Chains A and B, each alone.
Chain A
Amino acid sequence: TQLLEQSPQFLSIQEGENLTVYCNSSSVFSSLQWYRQEPGEGPVLLVTVVTGGEVKKLKRLTFQFGDARKDSSLHITAAQPGDTGLYLCAHTGANSKLTFGKGITLSVRP
């Protein structure tokens, strides 16, 4: 099983600041997903990255897949309180099961 390490575990920032969080592994991924989960709700898929070096943008969120497909980053520009939540990265292993990292808890203060 490929382990996903997410960092930092917790992040508290002021509205308007920029931030970058990470998802790393020692193994190569065929693809990787980012999800966001708000308290008391199920995770919602944000993006899937497949190609090494790929960059995808979702409004103020920028997702990058590492060239070697072992890591990914999520950058948020001008964070807003609505960005608060748990950010999870996940990948599908050789057993076709989706495995999640432990997540990054982001709090954006107004």
Chain B
Amino acid sequence: SQTIHQWPATLVQPVGSPLSLECTVEGTSNPNLYWYRQAAGRGLQLLFYSVGIGQISSEVPQNLSASRPQDRQFILSSKKLLLSDSGFYLCAWSVLLGSGELFFGEGSRLTVL
């Protein structure tokens, strides 16, 4: 069966420090991968998605970047965190782009102080 894991689960970082959140999927090949951010337990905002290795699409201008160095690995990064980067970050995968059926990781809670 397919599984998705992301880490770390919780992160407290000072303003201006770098960030790296990692997500891996097991049990499937060539998944579509996504990074979402959720503010205060509300709706999800799509940040990045990837249809293959090295292919990244950005949805909103921001202080973050994403990379996909391997088929089942998706990384969210920042060189210098801002207070506004605080939030709950969710990685997800799908079989088909546009299917609407996503499988989410456990989430990473980022607090920037």
Contact = CB atoms under 8 A, between A and B. Distances in A.
The majority secondary structure among interface residues of chain A is strand
A88 interface: yes
Contacts of B106: 41-42
A84 B95 CA distance: 29
A38 B89 CA distance: 15
A110 interface: no
Contacts of B34: 98
Contacts of B103: 45
Chain B binding surface, main DSSP class: loop
Contacts of A96: 97-98
A103 B36 CA distance: 15
A92 B98 contact: yes
Interface residues of B, number: 22
B104 A42 contact: yes
A97 B104 CA distance: 15
Given A91-B100, A92-B98, A100 B44 contact: yes
Contacts of A31: 100
B43 interface: yes
A97 B46 contact: yes
Contacts of A39: 41
A14 to B, nearest CB: 22
Given A42-B104, A102-B42, 17 more contacts: A33-B100, A39-B41, A41-B107, A42-B92, A42-B107, A43-B44, A43-B90, A43-B104, A45-B101, A45-B103, A86-B42, A97-B46, A97-B59, A98-B98, A98-B102, A100-B44, A103-B41
